[in-house]
């Protein structure tokens, strides 16, 4: 139980760390930085298209604002077939897993990640901000927990509005 609490707290820290990620070549420009005017929808649309992202936009009837939608990829991390590691090996894999997620945030490939609160087959998710499913799948499968067989990955495309925060 203590390992689950530590894991959950670590994931929360990673989510906070991930919100401060730096730009990389394939990651889009953030919507708003401190003391900075957000890029226009037109500029952001052009930038995302030039990097190969799937996007569309629509006008919100209530506000009249143009909303830009981007395709992200959700990686479902599921219980894998290889669960026979010693507690020490499992702890080591967990540290490597957390380092992998931290790297994905730091390099701008992952936007949010976290475990589920139950003990079900799906252990957690990571939302990848990449132009293609192939890239997201490749990055998710680089996770040491996946390589060790402790987790398996299932990736699905997912649409979300650019710049809208979680509530």
How do the domains of the chain map onto residue ranges? Answer: 2-35+71-161
User: What's this model's pTM, rounded to 2 decimal places?
Assistant: 0.75
Name the residue with higher pLDDT: 15 or 92.
92
The Cα–Cα gap between 74 and 50 comes to: 22
pLDDT of residue 109: 97
- Rg, the chain, Cα only: 17
Helical packing angle, 2-18 and 87-106, nearest 10°: 10
pLDDT of residue 34: 60
The model's confidence at residue 164, banded by pLDDT at 50, 70 and 90, is: confident
How distant, in Å, are the alpha carbons of 8, 66, 97 from that of 11?
A: 5, 33, 11
Percent of the chain surpassing pLDDT 70? 79
pLDDT tens, 111-148? 999 999 998 999 999 999 999 999 999 999 999 999 99
CATH architecture, range 2-35+71-161: 2-Layer Sandwich (3.30)
């Amino acid at each position: 139980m203590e390992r689950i609490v530590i894991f959950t707290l670590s994931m929360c820290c990673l989510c906070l760390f991930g919100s401060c990620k730096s730009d990389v070549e394939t990651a889009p420009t953030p919507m708003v930085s401190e003391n900075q005017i957000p890029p226009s929808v037109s500029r952001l649309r052009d930038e995302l298209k030039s990097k190969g992202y799937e996007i569309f936009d629509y006008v919100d009837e209530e506000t009249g604002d143009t909303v830009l939608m981007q395709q992200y990829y959700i990686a479902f991390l599921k219980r894998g077939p290889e669960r026979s590691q010693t507690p020490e090996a499992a702890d080591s894999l967990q540290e490597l897993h957390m380092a992998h997620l931290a790297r994905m945030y730091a390099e701008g490939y992952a936007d949010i990640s976290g475990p589920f609160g139950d003990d079900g087959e799906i252990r957690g998710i990571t939302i990848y901000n990449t132009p293609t499913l192939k890239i997201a799948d490749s990055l998710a499968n680089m996770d040491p927990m996946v390589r060790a067989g402790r987790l398996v990955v299932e990736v699905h495309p997912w649409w979300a509005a650019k710049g809208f925060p979680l509530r």
